[in-house]
Amino acid sequence: MTAPDTAASAAAALMELSGISKRFTRRLDAAAKIAQLLGARLREETVHAVDDVSLAIAEGEVVGLVGESGCGKSTLGRVVAGIHQASAGTVTYRGRDVAALEGRERMATALAIQMIFQDPMSSLNPRLRVAEIIGEAVRVHRLVPRPDLDDYVADLMRRVGLDPDYRKRYPHQFSGGQRQRIGIARALAVRPEFLVCDEAVAALDVSIQAQVLNLFMELRQDFNLTYLFISHDLGVVEHLSDRVLIMYLGRIVEEAPTEALFGDPNHPYTQALLAEVPRLEPGRRIFKPITGEIPSPINPPPGCHFHPRCPHAMERCRVERPALRPTGPGRFSACHLNDEARG
């Protein structure tokens, strides 16, 4: 799979990933190495959290990234946000390789891409006051003249729906929804262009979740933001995204515009996900689950990672990794069944 294969590889792409892999290796410590010399069968364990992923995101677009736990979606988000370095592949922002940037440009790019985190508790430093949480980076990077900083923070708080009178409080004095708003204000403070939202509403109650989702949509318009919206919740992704990527065990298995994907899923895994997501529709449903567990990413099945659970698995699926190939306008899917149908 190469970069030009992906959908939004047009010149308009704001963010482009090509061939991104992220491996985590648990190295053997001294004791384990000695044990190995003595004959113990210990090996370094490598997790392919993200395995050769390419994608492009256009300016102003909202891209949803869906997957179950351990599929690598959060790791991919962190590579995009610059928190993790990719083990292989390049991240290009506005046409320039992020890893090659230096000095002022490097800083500008780092600030342009911000992240909203899942846990409203642990994503805020419990020892800092709200004003400091929001204003620290602004002050350190001198984005706003010192005398204006207070007003700037107050404006941001108002913008995300917080009372600026609370700026002297500590995070533990806020509810989950409010804490998430503080996290959003912190990200907005450095005037980002691109937000990576990692399960940003998963920890919130339904009614609060709706408030925060609405806030995200307002902010998109007001600040002309581009989003990579990572979630396990298909409903949230469907509601918010223009385009959806489905990830399974480190690989993107399907990519399509939202309506097309939800209307006519191509990959068997996407089909299963859509069939099983609980929906608020009247009438008792009979759940017909796909069988089997999600395999461990330490030792994923060969070929297509999904084949042990796939009802249509063939011999070829067990040996050959399916490539992400176009299946329609703006649509890609990594499944051998498409070749069979064509052939």
Partner 1 sequence: MADPLLVVRDLRTHFFTRTGVVKAVDGASFSVNRGEVLGIVGESGSGKSIAGFSIMGLVDPPGRVVDGAMTFDGIDLRALPDEEMRGLRGRRIAMVFQDPMMTLNPVLRIDTQMIEALTAHIRIGKADARARCRDALGMVGIPAPEERLSAYPHQFSGGMRQRVAIAIALLHEPDLIIADEPTTALDVTIQAQILYEVQNLVHTRDMAMLWITHDLSVVAGLADRIAVMYAGRVVETGPTEEIVERPLHPYTQGLIGSVPSRSKRGSKLRQIPGMAPSPLNLPEGCAFRPRCAYATERCGQSPADRELLPGRWGRCHHPLHLAAAGRPELAKP
Partner 2 sequence: MSETLGNDPALAGLAERTPDARRWRLRAETPLVRVARNFAESRVAVFGLVLLVAIIVAAVLAPYISPQNPYDLSEIRIEAGELPPGAVERADPPRQRFDIPIDPAAPGVQQLALNGAAPFTVVTAEVLVSDPERIEVRLTGEPAGAFAEVGRLRIDGVPRGAELTVGEKHSFRSFWEVPGADLAAFAVVREGGFEGTFELEVDLRGAHGEAIMTHWLGTDSQGRDMYSAILYGLRISLSVGVLSCLFAMVIGMSLGLVAAYFGGRVETVIMRIVDLQLSFPAILVALMLLAILGQGVDKVIIALVTVQWAYYARTVRGSALVERSKEYIEAATCLALSHRRIVFRHLLPNCLPPMIVVVTLQTAHAISLEATLSFLGVGLPQTEPSLGLLISNGFEYMMSGKYWISIFPGVALLITIVAINLVGDQLRDVLNPRMRRDG
Do 238 and 261 contact (CB within 8 A), yes or no? no
Angstrom CA distances, 338 to 301, 312, 318, stand at 21, 12, 16
- Binding site partner of 265, from partner 1, partner 2, none, Cβ cut-off 5-8 A by kind: none
- Binding site partner of 172, from partner 1, partner 2, none, Cβ cut-off 5-8 A by kind: partner 2
Dist. CA 237–CA 244, nearest whole Å = 8
- Binding site partner of 327, from partner 1, partner 2, none, Cβ cut-off 5-8 A by kind: none
Dist. CA 196–CA 78, nearest whole Å = 8
Residue pointed to by tokens 């179950």: 68
User: 313: closest CA among 328, 292, 296?
Assistant: 292
116 sits near partner 1 (criterion: CB under 8 A): no
216 sits near partner 2 (criterion: CB under 8 A): no
Dist. CA 304–CA 125, nearest whole Å = 41
- Binding site partner of 113, from partner 2, partner 1, none, Cβ cut-off 5-8 A by kind: partner 2
226 sits near partner 2 (criterion: CB under 8 A): no
Among 6, 75, 92, 123, binds partner 2 (CB under 8 A): 123
Site residues (CB under 8 A) for partner 1, limited to 266-285: 272-273, 275-285
* Two tokens, residue 284: 């008792």
Strand partners, 227: 62, 195
204 sits near partner 2 (criterion: CB under 8 A): yes
Site map 192..231 versus partner 1, x via CB under 8 A: -------------xxxxxxx-xx--x--------------
Do 81 and 65 contact (CB within 8 A), yes or no? no
Using CB under 8 A, list all residues that contact partner 1. Answer: 68-69, 175-177, 205-211, 213-214, 217, 232-236, 238-240, 258-259, 272-273, 275-291, 293-294
